């Protein structure tokens, strides 16, 4: 349990839980897609949104763990509306299939939570020939957002309700000191360092939200896009680093957030009225935060947008 507790201007702190930051909020009538909802921050996000009445569609690559998480949620919250759909973000074909099936489900889409991620894995390429962290953490979510966009715009128009896109990222000041940003060199194995590649893919999550937000404002669309750092949270994310994994189990309860706290900022951005109309911002501990200069770079955000669009169109 994360012990520090200084409240920010939102009234919440690093120790606030997802249930606390959404207390009293009625999410019934809303539909949300949560990626990577089969474990960690994603499964807690799905649970708390369902608790608040949101119809949750869990996008998961492992259907059997997705179904177990769904069962747990529904057992505890009998009124919960939760569906599980297959989604492998590292495969563009899988993302297209998910979007097409979701599109024909007749469900509206108010909230899209781009949460799934892998961290610091050994170098490998996705089915589409892209470095796997960049493919999973950024390109998969870029394509998913792109394909669900019409549905989100239609929902916000028809229901006169603000749509919200929430990208789960992480701060990456250190990466800009080491390597700079070079999205076009992601497949170069000789340059590959697993943590740098992770950091780069997470900066991409912030830049993606910023550029989405800029475009929504330009088009006068009633959808916001924000990104966040969930904190250092004890989850399966550290499974590829034996030292970090051991540390996670040993010291988690002293220095890391638990998943209830780790999902708080995501749920705050998805549902809280305090952030109505707030877009293109970065959050941490359910409060506004400042990302690295590279992550705020508007030109870089446009460059990444074009690069990503070319990649999904290739």
Cα separation, 143 vs 86, in Å, equals 15
Angle between helices 264-271 and 40-51 (to 10 degrees): 40
CB nearer ligand NDP, residue 138 or residue 155: 138
Distances (CA, A) of 215 to 15, 91, 222: 34, 26, 11
| Torsion sign (Cα): 107, 112, 113, 114 | positive
Q: How far apart are CB 170 and ligand NDP at their closest, in Å?
A: 3
Q: How far apart are CB 175 and ligand NDP at their closest, in Å?
A: 13
Cα separation, 270 vs 27, in Å, equals 10
Decide if 192 is catalytic.
Answer: yes
- β-pairing, 287-289 with 282-284? antiparallel
Q: How far apart are CB 217 and ligand NDP at their closest, in Å?
A: 25
Q: How far apart are CB 202 and ligand NDP at their closest, in Å?
A: 6
45 binds ligand NDP, rule: CB under 6 A: no
207 binds ligand NDP, rule: CB under 6 A: no
Q: How far apart are CB 27 and ligand NDP at their closest, in Å?
A: 21
CB nearer ligand NDP, residue 41 or residue 51: 41
CB nearer ligand NDP, residue 54 or residue 237: 237
Compute the half-sphere exposure of residue 159: CA atoms within 13 Å on the CB side of its CA: 18
Residues in region 215-274 near ligand NDP by CB under 6 A: 229-230, 232-233, 235-237
How many residues of this chain interact with ligand NDP, rule: CB under 6 A? 30
Residue 309: partners with Cβ closer than 8 Å, 6 or more residues away? 146
| Angle in degrees, CA 227, 83, 93, rounded to 5 | 70
61 binds ligand NDP, rule: CB under 6 A: yes
170 binds ligand NDP, rule: CB under 6 A: yes
Catalytic residue among 177, 192, 268, 282, which? 192
CB nearer ligand NDP, residue 108 or residue 117: 117
Give the CA-trace dihedral at 263, 269, 273, 279, to 10 degrees: 170
Q: Which of 18, 22, 42, 148 binds ligand NDP (CB under 6 A)?
A: 42
167 binds ligand NDP, rule: CB under 6 A: no
| Torsion sign (Cα): 221, 264, 72, 88 | positive
Catalytic residues: 192
Q: Which residues bind ligand NDP (CB under 6 A)?
A: 35-36, 38-42, 61-62, 65, 87-90, 115-119, 136, 168, 170, 202, 229-230, 232-233, 235-237
């Amino acid at each position: 349990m994360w012990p520090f507790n200084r409240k920010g201007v939102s009234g919440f702190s690093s120790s606030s839980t997802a249930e606390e930051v959404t207390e009293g909020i009625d999410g019934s009538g809303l539909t949300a897609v949560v990626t990577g909802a089969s474990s960690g921050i994603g499964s807690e996000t799905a649970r708390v949104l369902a608790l608040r009445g949101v119809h949750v569609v869990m996008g998961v690559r492992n259907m059997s763990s997705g179904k177990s998480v769904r069962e747990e949620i529904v057992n505890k919250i009998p009124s919960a509306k939760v569906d599980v759909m297959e989604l492998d973000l590292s495969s563009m074909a899988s993302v297209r299939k998910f979007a097409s099936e979701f599109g024909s489900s007749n469900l509206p889409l108010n909230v899209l939570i781009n949460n799934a991620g892998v961290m610091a894995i050994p170098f490998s390429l996705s089915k589409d020939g892209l470095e796997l962290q960049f493919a999973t953490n950024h390109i998969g979510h870029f394509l998913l957002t792109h394909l669900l966009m019409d549905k989100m715009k239609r929902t916000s128009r028809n229901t006169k309700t603000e749509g919200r896109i929430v990208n789960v990222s992480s701060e990456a000041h250190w990466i800009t000191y080491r390597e700079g940003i070079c999205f076009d060199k992601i497949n170069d194995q000789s340059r590959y360092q697993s943590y740098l590649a992770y950091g780069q893919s997470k900066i991409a999550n912030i830049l993606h939200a910023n550029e989405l937000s800029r475009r929504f404002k330009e088009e006068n669309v009633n959808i916001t896009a924000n990104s966040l750092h969930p904190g250092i949270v004890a989850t399966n994310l550290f499974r590829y680093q034996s030292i970090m994994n051991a540390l996670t189990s040993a010291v988690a309860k002293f220095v890391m957030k638990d998943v209830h706290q780790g999902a708080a900022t995501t749920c705050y951005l998805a549902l809280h009225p305090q952030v109505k109309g707030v877009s293109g911002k970065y959050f941490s501990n359910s409060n506004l935060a400042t990302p690295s200069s590279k992550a705020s770079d508007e030109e870089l955000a446009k460059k990444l947008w074009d690069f990503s669009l070319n990649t999904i169109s290739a």
